Amino acid sequence: MKLCSKSMLLLVVAGISCAGQDFHKLAFEGGGGITLPVGSSKSELKMGWNMLLGAGYNFTPHIAGLLEFQFDQLKFSPSGLATLNQPGGYVRYWSFSLNPRYDFRTRGRVGGYVTGGYGLYGRRVAYTDPSQIQQVCDPYYGYCENTSAPVIAAFTSYRGGVNVGGGLTYAPGRSGMKLFTDVRYNRIMSHTYDEFITFTFGLKY
């Protein structure tokens, strides 16, 4: 009986020790993907792209808090340009937000999480003139490329905003590094071109 009790205690200690090896205090993430306009901006903007970077602290194996930076760029749709009477243009968003996160099944290879938070969002609306795009060539190598369309007017504003979403994770090994897919709804506290959904793929630790 004593031998059995000692064996059980040894297994519990070993299990706690192994769990401690998988748990790390610092959290990092980075990735990119596509951005889809929704709501009032759906008819004005086209699909764009995004970049996500974050760092934070794991309070427990399930609960973490992160400071996230997100950048998104979307172009105006033809109907949006016609409504605005502009030849070309794009919208850029960037944000810094504080996001608590809850992770599920942290000991398995496949897991998931939910997250959401509030932060500062910046928005830059720029109108461009594609007719002024020029082709520039290198006479020595014979390489040519087109210049970007010049910006003819731009407006920048800052507002508070929220995001909410979640994702799936996959751990290919025991290093603590995981692949993740993230789906997030973003809403800036304003009234135009301010709702979008991001689909992001990357690595988290």
Residue 152: is its pLDDT beyond 90? no
- For the four alpha carbons of 147, 149, 152 and 155, in that order, the dihedral sign comes to negative
Residue labelled with tokens 């942290």: 106
**What does the alpha-carbon distance between residue 80 and residue 63 come to, in Å, rounded to a whole number?**
42
Which H or E run contains 79?
helix 78-84
Q: How far apart are CA 85 and CA 76, in angstroms?
A: 11
User: Residue 4's pLDDT is what?
Assistant: 40
- Asked if 113 and 87 count as a contact pair (C-beta separation under 8 A), the reply is no
Q: List all residues 6 or more positions away from 49 whose beta carbon is below 8 Å from its beta carbon.
A: 32, 33, 34, 35, 72, 73
pLDDT tier for residue 13 given thresholds of 50, 70 and 90:
very low
Mean pLDDT of 13-24: 46
Q: Does residue 40 contact residue 190 with C-beta atoms inside 8 Å?
A: no
> Top-level CATH class of 26-204?
mainly beta
- Mean pLDDT, the chain, rounded, equals 86
pLDDT digits (tens, 9 = 90+) for 89-144: 999 999 999 999 999 876 678 999 999 999 999 999 999 988 887 777 877 777 78
Give residue 88's pLDDT. Answer: 92
* Strand pairing class (88-104; 48-58): unpaired
Over residues 149-154, mean pLDDT: 87
Name the residue ranges covered by the structural domains of the chain: 26-204
